[in-house]
Amino acid sequence: MNNTHFIELVGKKLSNSISEDEEVQLDCFLMDEDNLNIYNKYKNIWIGSKEEATALNTNAVYNKIQSRLQKNSIPHHAIGSAVGKPIKWIRIFSYAAVFIVLLVAGFSLPNFFERSQKDTVVVAKMIHKANPIGQKSTVFLPDGSKVVLNSNSTLSYQENFTNGVREVTLEGEAFFEIEKDPDKPFSVLTKQMKVQVLGTSFNLRAFQEQDVQIALLSGKVEVVEEGNYYNDTISLEPGEAIAYDIQKKKFRAKTQFDPEEVVCWKDGILYFDTASINEVIDELSDWYGVSFTIRGTPHKTWSYSGKFDNYTLQNVLIAMSFTEKFEYKIEGKDVLLKF
- pLDDT tens, 68-118? 545 544 444 444 444 444 444 444 444 555 555 555 444 545 555 554 444
- Given pLDDT bands bounded at 50, 70 and 90, which one contains residue 315? very high
The pLDDT value recorded for residue 70 is 55
- The answer to whether 126-260 and 268-338 have equal CATH topology is no
Element counts in the chain: helices (H) and strands (E): 9, 19
Where in the chain are the domains?
Answer: 3-112, 126-260, 268-338
Nearest to 285 by CA among 255, 254, 316: 316
Could you confirm whether domain 126-260 is CATH 1.10.580.10?
no
The pLDDT value recorded for residue 92 is 45
Is the pLDDT assigned to residue 248 strictly greater than 80?
Answer: yes
Residue 333 amino acid letter: K
Say whether 207 sits in a helix, a strand or coil: coil
The whole-number average pLDDT for the span 302-317 is 95
- Assign domain 268-338 to its CATH architecture: 3-Layer(bab) Sandwich (3.55)
Q: Are 135 and 166 spatial neighbours (Cβ–Cβ below 8 Å)?
A: no
Please give the C-alpha separations between residue 43 and each of 11, 13, 30, 230, 250, in angstroms, as whole numbers: 9, 9, 13, 11, 21
- Given pLDDT bands bounded at 50, 70 and 90, which one contains residue 156? very high
